[in-house]
Amino acid sequence: MHPNALVIEIIQGKTTVSEASRSFDLTPSEIEGWVEDAKRGMENSLRANPLDIREQYEKQLRHL
């Protein structure tokens, strides 16, 4: 199973870190790191509005 799919299953509550660790012979800390990285990525993605970023970029270009 790809790490992304595993993290999604953990976040959705379909499996636990302990179960995944045993099933895929991975350390719990390794899996927990992936989950934390994914959560940070989701938070950042929800904060950033692509249209806002594009508008900021266009304003910067106009000021050059």
- Domain holding 48, by residue range, is 3-62
In which residue are the tokens 């099933």 written? 23
Token code pair at residue 60 = 């910067």
pLDDT at 22 over 90: yes
31/63: higher pLDDT = 31
pLDDT score recorded for residue 10: 97
